[in-house]
Amino acid sequence: AILEGMGPKLLAGVIERCIIDTDKRGMTANIRFNSYINRETLSTAAEKLKVGLSLNEIKLISSFSADSFSNEAAEDIANSLKAENVMINGYLNGAEFETDEGVVSISLKFGGVDTIKNCDFEKNFALRVKDVFGIDVEVRFTGQLEDVKMVTPKIEQKPFIPQKSSDSAPKAAGGVK
């Protein structure tokens, strides 16, 4: 009843391991799914469980079948890595993801491939996919690879000079002197 309305894919998950910490009123659960479920849905489910079971903390560790790895899953993993590393954040905005037989192609829109690579994104992405889906992937970058030069238009603005009022006497309510 706690997860009512969360959908059949989520409810089909199998709890492989569950640890209850009675002192902290916490729970850690490893759950395996046959279909991919995005981070937002898992986060909502975790919050519902936390409230419904009156827990102080909850951690859901999810894993998925290898054949459920998809473009959506690749983008979700990239977004989680993006949230963990501010250096790559803007470069992955608007990126498009395509998965095909162990290769994840990421089409960049704003360049930054050198920065992304220097932050070990490819390695971290592949490790995350291995942990969550149990498969090995290779990451390739396409699209706009070089940094995009941002040009800020020069706006000429006259300095603000306050005008002196010819009548500096205070006015009463209603604008009457």
Instruction: Find the helix packing angle between 39-52 and 71-84, rounded to 10°.
Output: 70
Per-residue pLDDT of the chain (177 residues; tens, 9 = 90+): 788 888 899 999 999 999 999 999 999 999 999 999 999 999 999 999 999 999 999 999 999 999 999 999 999 999 999 989 888 878 888 899 999 989 999 999 888 899 899 999 999 999 999 999 999 999 999 988 777 666 677 777 777 788 776 655 555 555 555
Rounded to whole angstroms, the Cα distance separating 21 from 25 reads 6
Q: The tokens of 50 are what?
A: 């936390």
Rounded to whole angstroms, the Cα distance separating 111 from 149 reads 9
SS in 3 state form for 68-96?
Answer: HCCHHHHHHHHHHHHHHCHHHCHHHCCCE
- Counted residue by residue, the chain has a size of 177
What DSSP designation does 105 have?
Answer: E
Rounded to whole angstroms, the Cα distance separating 7 from 65 reads 18
